[in-house]
Structure formats: structure tokens, C-alpha cells
Amino acid sequence: KQEVTQIPAALSVPEGENLVLNCSFTDSAIYNLQWFRQDPGKGLTSLLLIQSSQREQTSGRLNASLDKSSGRSTLYIAASQPGDSATYLCAVKREETSGSRLTFGEGTQLTVNP
Amino acid sequence: GAVVSQHPSWVICKSGTSVKIECRSLDFQATTMFWYRQFPKQSLMLMATSNEGSKATYEQGVEKDKFLINHASLTLSTLTVTSAHPEDSSFYICSGRANYEQFFGPGTRLTVL
């Protein structure tokens, strides 16, 4: 059974700092890994999706890396802003079938202080 | 990205009543939709996978007679919480699959008094 762990559970940083969020998964046989952002009381916004054959994806100030063999992914946020404050979730998909589910981590709650 | 809507965004009901939540894919066709439940400070837990035109597949521990799912078209799936009780109070999120990604709705906050 796939298990996804995110460290740290919570993180508070001053504005402008670069930071790294960690995600690990127990079963390396994944199809892809996705990072999401969730604001309080809201749904999920997809940030980055990395296919199993890829090593990283970038979007603006965000960079996500994937090391499938070691079961790890990191989300790097450059020059953090107060608007980045949210819960960040990573999720892995085992296979590319219509019913293949996402397994989520518990999330990292990020607070960026002005 | 693809857009998924949910209605209502929040609902308060009395214990014993039934509540229907709609999930629509606005700009894509979703042959598969997923329903999740999220309790405070916890991550999303998959409840069921809904395939258009067929019966939903429920996760272990989720009562299919309590959480009725209908996926009648490629753009609409509904979740009905029957005879709701206070322990059913939660945040319900649906997701539709487009290409290789899942896109999530904004969620429905259900409070059962």
C-alpha cells in the first residue's frame, strides 16, 4: 500500500526566503506525482505535475523535482511571498488508468510572514 | 487548466435529512470523477471513484447506501448524503480527470446539526 509523507508538517518563514518542501513515497512504481496548493476552506489548485520519466518541472518561482528510485520529491519556492501562505499537498498516481487514484500526503502548512 | 465546479459551496442541514452535492466539469468531459472527504487539519481521503454510465467504486469503509453517487453524464456527477448525521459534517471535494491530471472542485462544506 502506497504511503505518502510530507515533511515538515508546518513551516513559518519570513518573506523573501527560499524554501523547500519535502515529499516521500514508499512505492516507487508511480506514474506521476503532483503538487497542489490548498487555501483554507477551498479546493485544490494544481501547481506542478511530474511524469515518472521526468526529473523536474518549473513554473515561475516554483520548481519540483522527482527522484523516483529513492521515493522523493521536493517543491522549491523561491523568494517566498505572503500570498504563498497555504497548505501544500503532494500526491502520487500509481498507473495511467481511468480509475487510478491519487494518494495524498498530509500536507505542509506554510506561513510566509511579511 | 480544466475547471470543475461544485454546488452548493456550503450547506447546513438537520440530522436525518439528505443532501445532494453536484460536481460539474465545465470545459472538459470527465469519464471518471473522484469524490473525496476532508476533515479539519487532515488530508483528502478518497471515498469513491465514479465512472460515467456505471456504478461507482467505493473505498473500504465507505457506505455505498449512505453516500449515493450518480455519474449520469460526462460533465456531471452527484453525491447524495442520505440521512445525514453530525459525524458526516466535513468538506467534500470532487475531482475530474482530464488527460494525465486531476482537477479539483472548490469543495462543499457540509454541516449537519
Low-confidence ranges of chain A (pLDDT < 50): none
Stated as kind and residue range, the H or E segment containing B92 is strand B90-98
- Rounded-to-integer distance, Cα A51 and Cα A61, Å: 20
- Output the pLDDT for position A107: 95
CB atoms within 10 A of CB B94: 31
Q: Where does the pLDDT of residue B51 fall: very low under 50, low under 70, confident under 90, or very high at 90 and above?
A: confident
Does position B2 have pLDDT exceeding 90, yes or no? no
- Output the pLDDT for position A72: 97
- Rounded-to-integer distance, Cα B7 and Cα A24, Å: 34
Q: Rounded to an integer, what is the distance from CA A73 to the centroid of its chain?
A: 7
Q: Cβ(A24)–Cβ(A5) under 8 Å?
A: yes
Helix (H, G, I), strand (E, B) or coil at A82: helix
Contact yes or no for A101 and B34 at CB 8 A: yes
Q: Cβ(B13)–Cβ(B110) under 8 Å?
A: yes
Nearest to A107 among B4, B43, B107 (CB): B43
DSSP string, A79-112: S--GGG-EEEEEEEE-SSSTTPPEEE---EEEEE
Contact yes or no for A41 and B107 at CB 8 A: yes
- Rounded-to-integer distance, Cα A23 and Cα A90, Å: 7
Answer whether A102 touches B (CB < 8 Å). Answer: yes
Contact yes or no for A43 and B104 at CB 8 A: yes
- Output the pLDDT for position B98: 78
Mean pLDDT of chain B: 92
At B64-113, the pLDDT tens digits run 999 999 988 889 999 999 999 999 999 999 999 877 778 899 999 999 99
Partners of residue A1 in chain B, C-beta under 8 Å: none
Partners of residue B32 in chain A, C-beta under 8 Å: 98-99
- Output the pLDDT for position B78: 95
Contact yes or no for B101 and A98 at CB 8 A: no
- Rounded-to-integer distance, Cα A93 and Cα A46, Å: 14
* Residue A87: DSSP 8-state: E
Contact yes or no for A104 and B43 at CB 8 A: yes
- Rounded-to-integer distance, Cα A100 and Cα A76, Å: 27
